[in-house]
Amino acid sequence: MTWLVVGLGNPGPEYAGTYHNAGCRVLARVADRFRVGVSERCGPAMVSGVAAMGGSTAVLARPQMYMNRSGVALPVLFERFDAAIGDLIVVYDDVALPIGKIRIRRKGSAGGHNGIKSLISACGSNEFLRVRVGILPEHPIEDVREFVLSDVARADRPLLDEAESAAAAAVETLIAEGADKAMAAFNRKDLRKAKEN
């Protein structure tokens, strides 16, 4: 079995530092941890080579279209790597979750996230593993779309950086030890409290 780890975000350097690209940044961290490059074209996505990870193998993938069309990449990836929905782990930002928290889920609705909507539509199912990275700041958000497409504020960077690092570790734990252990290890963590202590 080869896991397919997909990091969501928008393509292009102008989006690299935005809240909405947390999934791509987590994927880059996983790639660094396992010394693989996400540099090979596979249809409408960039992929890594097959990496040994936690006693299994995994391929990292980054769709190269805008977030709301991310699902277009899945059929080509599934065919190329002989993968199915049960082999899929998706990493993405979540504006319903505070910065400093991550959540691992086995399945669920899109929750208003256009990238996840696109993936569910492409798969015909919502039953895939996901690692949600919280991006909700402490201050109110007037326009969600404008917020997620804005560069991460300087005040938010340290905590989001820690959360993205934790999300990369969560991906590794999912693959090595399974969903139950990963959820037990990461779903209760609140990096905001660690900062206060």
* DSSP per-residue codes, 55-87: TEEEEEEEE-S-GGGGGGGHHHHHHHTT--GGG
Assess whether 139 carries a catalytic annotation.
no
Interhelix angle 157-177/179-186, rounded to 10 degrees, is 150
Q: Could you tell me how far CA 95 lies from the centroid of its own chain?
A: 13
Alpha-carbon distance of 22 to 75, in angstroms, equals 23
Query: Cα dihedral sign for 182, 164, 115, 82?
Result: negative
Are the C-beta atoms of residues 92 and 130 closer than 8 Å to each other? Answer: yes
Are the C-beta atoms of residues 80 and 121 closer than 8 Å to each other? Answer: no
Q: Which of 6, 20, 46, 103 is an active site residue? A: 20
2 half-sphere exposure, CB direction, 13 A CA radius? 18
191 half-sphere exposure, CB direction, 13 A CA radius? 23
Catalytic sites, residue numbers:
20
